[in-house]
Structure 1
Amino acid sequence: MKNRTRFTSLSLTLLLSATLGLSSLSSLPVMASSAPAAKASEPEKGPHRGRMLRDGEFALELAIFETGVPPEFRVWLTNRGQPIDPKAVDLNVKLTRLGNVVDDINFNVEGDFLRGDMEIYEPHSFVVTINAKYQGKTFSWQYDNFEGRTTIEKAVADAMEIQTEFAGPATLHLTIPAYGTLALPVGATRQIAARFDGEITKLHVAFGDTVKPGQVLYTVESNESLKPYPIKSPVSGTVTQLFAANGEQTEGRTLLTITDNSELTAKLAVYPSDYSKVLLGAPVLITPEGSDQVYSGTIDFIEPNVREDQARIIWVKLANQDNVLNTGSFVSAHIEVATIEVPLAVKRTGLQGFRDFTVVYAKVGEQYEVRMLELGRQDGEWVEVLGGLKPNTEYVSTNSYILKADIEKSGASHDH
């Protein structure tokens, strides 16, 4: 048995100072106990490792049994230290869970004990109420059996930026990882030449200049007409190569090169096990190496041939606003291969470990308690829930580690 936990002044001070600074504490309207009370003595255990409950000479041992079966209550009875025929006792146990959910358990005779008629599902956290009738007398007990539960004042939860959401349907975007490099798309480089041979009388741009369509690049005097004419840029881009200057003859050669960097192509390697999953038009999220910025695009080409390492190369166009992306840069990517609607999901940011379970913390008023989850498919944001959580449960989705730390500090353990 563990008493209900609550933030102590010390733990509150440490946590708040870490996030708000000590100067904020004086104005924070919070309530917290000054110090944990001394732990109550451990309850008496019986020969079956259950909890002993006594009233005069009548006693029962209540144990959760889970060897080879789902957890269930089993009860052994004595009077004046001698075993009682379980048929002579009418027993009922009620478990009041967080949110006033009541499990009403009746018992059947099995051998020399009484066996509960329903599974004690996780978490094993509840107020236990026992009523036993024997020889015309009624015996009653009640005690708290809490685990994975804590209480946090709303003001404290707000200050700690503990955020919640309601569990419900979600769209999962299943992805596979891929890696590659950035390259110029086909047609991004234009080579500029003179329409008529002649002498360059004026060069209007320099290496590295940004040009626009229609901007004059050269003025050339035609060798035939001896009249000047302009050579204009057909595209936007940057002058990346410059081969001719004032006074030179054009001679039918390339005079300069303009490169349009406004769009790049991520060339990503996909290996045989994933060939069938990757389709044209599939969304892709791409992160350049050394950057936290995520870019989105879609697959617009899949090379028909494979490399020597058996990878197929897929092409994804990326807008290069402000020219922050560079050709040759390494990138990592997540290629969407399926979109699945699931009836119940939680955010990955809310997941924590508790005992051998993955859990979220359900919120009821100012109380929080673990919910052991059976998980299914997942993507970068959501995890499908197959069991352990009811739809529309309010759960902690942000900063759930604070609750984990407080519960671990309190020592709220699994107590049978």
Structure 2
Amino acid sequence: MKNYNILTLLTVTAFLFFGFTAPLPVSASSAPEAEQAEPEKGPNRGRILRDGDFAVELAIFETGVPPEFRVWVTDVGMPVSPDKVDFSVQLTRLGNVIDDIKFRVQSDFLRGDLEIYEPHSFVVTIVAKYQGQTHRWEYDNFEGRTQIAPDVASAMEIETDIVGPVTLHQTIPAYGRLSLPANATHNIAARFDGVIKTLLVQQGDVVKQGQVLMTVESNESLKPYQITSPSDGIISEQYANIGEPTGGKVLLRLTNTAQFLAKLAIYPQDYTKIKVGTPVTIKVEGDDRQLKGKIEFIEQKVRDDQAKLVWVTLPNTNSSLVEGSFVNADIEVATIQVAVAVKKVGLQGFRDFTVVYAKVGEQYEVRMLELGREDSQWIEVLGGIELGTAYVTENSYIIKADIDKSGASHDH
């Protein structure tokens, strides 16, 4: 098992980003590891273990059955009847998880009574009793495992989380634009025709409800009267000036920008998934904020592209929203409680499996996952990792790169 110093960080970084493939420097608390010879294999593709003239072949068999141990025994090169041998295997997994495997006779071999679940990464301890003698072997059978010191893991910004229950928020994407509500614009005209005597605002001014905008001298009474603002807003258009007759025309246009409508397009395959009150998360182009709202109205007509428009009201809290801006949205269509879930950012590929890397102390090891439902951030786990397990989330690719470089094989 490797224990990296800070040079590892530099070398792994170079490998990941520049394709540098020089060997990683290794430091260990004991003598440097020697390159191990390939273990001797038997006729059943299992590992041969010898003690003098006595030998066993231990193989993981998985053709048509879940992976299980099978054992063939010889003495002085001759087959030994399996009923003459008392045989047991103990697997010590990461975190000191122990699997004790007993064996029964089947045909000319011994068959283990437990499934050898993934990962096949453990210390193997074997005891065989034959003709009054006890034979014992122990060896490491590690795969998908590495060791990284805490200071190096911190420097690499490797982050972890704990496997636990999660609420999934499943969404569908939608796109649209910002519009002003129908009641956002007011056309301001004189109630009685006359001449504008004072004009107290101009285009671009922000005004409050009830604020005096201008005075007009009536043509009939020759008395001045005031025109006030019907709401808060901005003078978005100015069509008249002091001294001009009102002439029954629009003098000012007032626009209230306190709220906007996000009008989102929903296509036929998603019609049945939406309803009034459905939560929506919206991002406006050019704005990093996530805005929250709910569907308040569903138009009962479709556009030429068969999309329905749904409306979501957004408060313009910092006056940053602009009419016509493009928006994208996630419409929540299901909320699901799941008992076990992991963050999708931590997922990696290992052999034919999707995995995360469990963390135990300074060691990291693959956990092959059976996956279920998901949302944008989380994915349900149906099997392969236990509740409460620490696992790598951010920068899990560093663990993958290190394990891939180690070249540990899947030894059966």
Report the alpha carbon displacement of residue 333 of structure 1 after superposing the two structures with TM: 1.2
* Other-structure match for 1:254: 250
TM (norm. structure 1) is 0.91
- The 3 A distance-change label for structure 1 pair 155 and 181 is same
Establish whether residue 208 from structure 1 lines up as the match of residue 200 from structure 2.
no
Aligned pair count? 403
Q: Extract unaligned runs of 5+ from structure 1.
A: 19-29
Conservation of the 8 A alpha-carbon contact between 2:184 and 2:257: yes
Report the alpha carbon displacement of residue 155 of structure 1 after superposing the two structures with TM: 2.1
Conservation of the 8 A alpha-carbon contact between 1:16 and 1:159: no
SS at match of 1:377: strand
Establish whether residue 86 from structure 1 lines up as the match of residue 82 from structure 2.
yes
Report the alpha carbon displacement of residue 17 of structure 1 after superposing the two structures with TM: 9.2
Report the alpha carbon displacement of residue 299 of structure 1 after superposing the two structures with TM: 0.5
Aligned partner (choices 259, 263, 266) of residue 263 of structure 1: 259
CA distance in 1, matches of 2:46, 2:182: 75
The one-letter code of the counterpart of 2:272 is: S
SS at match of 1:398: coil
- The 3 A distance-change label for structure 1 pair 107 and 7 is same
CA distance in 1, matches of 2:346, 2:30: 29
CA distance in 2, matches of 1:7, 1:412: 17
CA distance in 1, matches of 2:240, 2:400: 70
Q: Extract unaligned runs of 5+ from structure 2.
A: 16-25
Conservation of the 8 A alpha-carbon contact between 1:8 and 1:36: no
CA distance in 1, matches of 2:31, 2:301: 70
The one-letter code of the counterpart of 1:108 is: R
* Other-structure match for 2:188: 192
Aligned partner (choices 343, 346, 350) of residue 342 of structure 2: 346
Report the alpha carbon displacement of residue 31 of structure 1 after superposing the two structures with TM: 7.4
Report the alpha carbon displacement of residue 57 of structure 1 after superposing the two structures with TM: 0.6
* Other-structure match for 1:360: 356
* Other-structure match for 2:49: 53
Report the alpha carbon displacement of residue 343 of structure 1 after superposing the two structures with TM: 0.9
SS at match of 1:49: coil
- The 3 A distance-change label for structure 1 pair 134 and 337 is same
CA distance in 1, matches of 2:209, 2:407: 71
CA distance in 2, matches of 1:124, 1:163: 25
Deviating beyond 6 angstroms after TM superposition, the runs of 4 or more aligned structure 1 residues are 30-36
Aligned partner (choices 222, 227, 230) of residue 226 of structure 1: 222
Report the alpha carbon displacement of residue 142 of structure 1 after superposing the two structures with TM: 0.3
Deviations 1:239-267 (Å, cap 9, x if unpaired)? 22211111111122211111122221111
Deviations 1:381-407 (Å, cap 9, x if unpaired)? 211111111111111222222211211
* Other-structure match for 2:404: 408
CA distance in 2, matches of 1:310, 1:36: 69
CA distance in 2, matches of 1:78, 1:257: 99
Conservation of the 8 A alpha-carbon contact between 2:4 and 2:152: no
CA distance in 1, matches of 2:129, 2:401: 43
Conservation of the 8 A alpha-carbon contact between 2:2 and 2:27: no
Q: Which stretch shifts more, 281-290 or 102-111?
A: 281-290
Deviations 1:364-397 (Å, cap 9, x if unpaired)? 1111111111111111121111111111111122
* Other-structure match for 1:5: 2
Conservation of the 8 A alpha-carbon contact between 2:5 and 2:152: no
Conservation of the 8 A alpha-carbon contact between 1:45 and 1:52: yes
Report the alpha carbon displacement of residue 314 of structure 1 after superposing the two structures with TM: 0.6
- The 3 A distance-change label for structure 1 pair 211 and 51 is same
Q: Map 1:149-168; keep pairs closer than 5 Å.
A: 149-168=145-164
Conservation of the 8 A alpha-carbon contact between 1:85 and 1:112: yes
Q: Which stretch shifts more, 271-280 or 121-130?
A: 271-280
SS at match of 2:270: helix
* Other-structure match for 1:373: 369
- The 3 A distance-change label for structure 1 pair 94 and 205 is same
* Other-structure match for 1:180: 176
